[in-house]
Amino acid sequence: MNYLYFLYIEFLAKHNIPKIFGDITFYVIPACIIFVALILVILVLVLFERKLLGWFTQRKGPNRVGFWGVLQTLADAFKLLCKENITPIGADRAVFNLAPIIMFLPVLIALGLIPFSSEFTFMNFQTNVLIYVILATFPVLSILLAGWASNNKYSLIGGVRNVAQILAYELPISFTVLSVIVLASSMNLTQITLAQSNQYGVLGWYWFPCIIGFGLMLICTLAELNRCPFDLPEAESELIAGYNTEYSGMRFALFYLSEYGMLFANSLFISVLFLGGYLSPFGKYLSPILFSGPVGNILIYFEQAFWLFAKSFLIIFIFIWVRATLPRLASFDLLKFSWNILLPLSIVNLLLMSLLKFFVGGVYA
Amino acid sequence: MLKEFYYMLLSFLTVFKHLFKRPVTLEYPEKKSEVGERFRGKPYMKGCIKCGTCIKVCPANAIKIEDNDFIFDMKKCIFCGNCSFYCPVKAIKMTQNYELATNDVNDLKLLYKIEGRENERLD
């Protein structure tokens, strides 16, 4: 970010624009980039999921709106915009309206913490990971609010279930993240990414030494995102639509949007922790080889972002694959699975990683 | 425990294989599903001799003959094919057309003109 800032100020100085203008606008631009990128990615993501689910079940998926169904998500969004906003009688009006908005905020903040390339991290704190782990649990708050304010038994049960689920699955996540922090000896996501670049290439990334943690992280993230097979808060066979039973129109769209935004953010987070973030899987960046001169040097940053996105989409692919395969767990099994299996496993994993760090040290330091 | 895990992996593999299979979806309005040779669809009539066998044989009372109009009532027709089976001159045929949905009730009365025998008596 410092390098970009420097470039920006220099560019402004060339055109005789005062430095104070650059100071003010510099942080607006990346925020806008992140917001636009998020919306675009969600549009792609929804289509990606529906297409893949179609292919997994030998269907075609959406293929009517636009070429190859590309505009399907836009059409859905337009339909939701046209719909009526209904507030049920007896609902807590203020909280009911506030819940979807609160749900969308942490997604935006969480995306700002991710290092998209070596120079582009919107908020580069020393303790990025901690802030992210806290923010990732924020949607549960608004889900509980939505369930509570709806004045509907299904919504309330969905919200409460989600709280129990997050409580159970947040602990294994914390321990797994802690094991990565131990390996990288840093709480900064950029530092963690850089710690994974070594002569072993793909095997040097933390998914290899921390394979148990990688699996745990995938499972727990599924639970945290309320996706199949852990989608108990929205179990349609028992709870109509769970916490968003009473929501319609744009408010429902906000829930939907933030769900997918959180999916994207969490997959980015996993790919930073375990799949080497923006590092190239070939060990070298390709753009300086393909394009010589200054163009290649600038293209490196875009290439880094490309690798990060590719890795995150790989993880999203796994999530969709799981959704297409496994049926939903029972409510009690879900909690038992976490407390009895995942939590001890994550603690063992943390212990193993500490021992690895202690004895092998240098390789993964 | 191990067996369950094995089955889970197996199901993951099975689902993954489906990615590379051709979709079984038939995009209906553009492509129509093929029906068998003996499929009984929309009935068709040409060359009636007004013998009245089909009226007697029809279990749903869907056929009416008024002067020179031969009428199939598609609201009643059950596509059993009895009329075409018992017709002495094989005037009635069941076609392979199965797209019978309309927005107009009057379209459900299929009217065929009986030709050429206006002045002959039936006895």
Looking up residue B89, the CATH number of its domain turns out to be 3.30.70.3270
Q: Are A159 and A40 in contact (CB under 8 A)?
A: no
Q: Tell me the per-residue pLDDT of A259-304, one tens digit each, with 9 for 90 and over.
A: 888 899 999 999 988 888 888 888 777 777 777 777 777 788 888 8
> Is B9 a domain residue?
no
Q: Tell me the per-residue pLDDT of A126-180, one tens digit each, with 9 for 90 and over.
A: 888 888 888 888 888 888 888 888 888 888 888 888 888 888 888 899 999 998 8
Instruction: State how many domains chain B has.
Output: 1
What are A34's two structure tokens? Answer: 């992140």
> Is B64 a domain residue?
yes
Q: Do residue B12 and residue A325 have CB atoms under 8 angstroms apart?
A: yes
Predicted local confidence at residue A348, as pLDDT = 92
> Is B18 a domain residue?
no
Q: Which domain holds residue B75?
A: 40-117
- Asked if A326 is an interface residue toward chain B (Cβ–Cβ < 8 A), one would say yes
CA atoms of A33 and A122, how far apart (whole Å) = 10
Give the 3-state secondary structure of residue B64: strand
> Which residue, among B15, B16, B28, B31, would best test binding to A if mutated, counting the most A CBs under 10 Å from its CB?
B15
Q: Are A144 and A96 in contact (CB under 8 A)?
A: no
B44 bridge partner residues? B93
Q: Which residues of chain B have pLDDT under 70?
A: 116-123
Chains A, B: CB contacts within 8 A come to 32
- Asked if B5 is an interface residue toward chain A (Cβ–Cβ < 8 A), one would say no
> Is B108 a domain residue?
yes
Q: Do residue A55 and residue B18 have CB atoms under 8 angstroms apart?
A: yes
Q: Are A209 and A216 in contact (CB under 8 A)?
A: no
Q: Tell me the per-residue pLDDT of A87-128, one tens digit each, with 9 for 90 and over.
A: 888 888 888 888 888 888 888 888 888 888 877 777 788 888
How far B20 CA sits from the closest chain A CA (Å)? 8
> Is B60 a domain residue?
yes
SS3 content of chain A, % helix, strand, coil (to 5): 75, 0, 25
Predicted local confidence at residue A365, as pLDDT = 47
- Residue that has been written with the tokens 């025998």 in this structure: B117
Q: Are B114 and B70 in contact (CB under 8 A)?
A: yes
Contacts of A346 (CB under 8 A, 6+ apart): A171, A172, A175, A176, A179, A213, A216
B18: chain A residues, CB-CB within 8 Å? 55-58
Residue A312: is its pLDDT beyond 70? yes
> Which residue, among A57, A218, A219, A329, would best test binding to B if mutated, counting the most B CBs under 10 Å from its CB?
A57
Q: Tell me the per-residue pLDDT of A192-231, one tens digit each, with 9 for 90 and over.
A: 888 888 777 788 788 888 888 899 999 989 888 888 788 8
Q: Tell me the per-residue pLDDT of A22-39, one tens digit each, with 9 for 90 and over.
A: 777 777 877 888 888 888
- Asked if B26 is an interface residue toward chain A (Cβ–Cβ < 8 A), one would say no
Mean pLDDT of A247-255: 85
What are A155's two structure tokens? Answer: 């919504």
Q: Are A183 and A195 in contact (CB under 8 A)?
A: yes
> Is B94 a domain residue?
yes
Predicted local confidence at residue A267, as pLDDT = 92
Q: Do residue A60 and residue B23 have CB atoms under 8 angstroms apart?
A: yes
Selecting from A54, A63, A325 the residue whose C-beta is nearest the C-beta of B15 gives A325
- Asked if A325 is an interface residue toward chain B (Cβ–Cβ < 8 A), one would say yes
Residue A11: is its pLDDT beyond 60? yes
Q: Are A145 and A95 in contact (CB under 8 A)?
A: yes
> Is B6 a domain residue?
no
How far B27 CA sits from the closest chain A CA (Å)? 9
- H-helix or E-strand spanning residue A162: helix A153-184
Q: Supply φ then ψ for residue B40, to 5 degrees.
A: -105, 100
Domain boundaries, chain A: 83-364
Give the amino acid at A50.
Answer: R
A229 upstream amide cis, omega within 30 of 0? yes
Residue A189: is its pLDDT beyond 60? yes
Contacts of A272 (CB under 8 A, 6+ apart): A114, A115, A189, A192, A193, A308
> Is B13 a domain residue?
no
Mean pLDDT of A330-346: 87
- Cβ neighbours, 10 Å, residue A354: 14
Q: Do residue A58 and residue B12 have CB atoms under 8 angstroms apart?
A: no
Q: Which of residues 46-65 of A touch B (CB under 8 A)?
A: 52, 54-60, 63
- Asked if B103 is an interface residue toward chain A (Cβ–Cβ < 8 A), one would say no
Selecting from A52, A59, A321 the residue whose C-beta is nearest the C-beta of B23 gives A59
* Top-confidence residue, A76 or B116: A76
B31: chain A residues, CB-CB within 8 Å? none
Predicted local confidence at residue A317, as pLDDT = 92
| Smallest CA–CA distance from A59 into chain B, residue | B23
**Full DSSP string of A263-316:** HHHHHHHHHHHHS-TT--TTSS-SHHHHS-SHHHHHHHHHHHHHHHHHHHHHHH
Q: Do residue A60 and residue B21 have CB atoms under 8 angstroms apart?
A: no
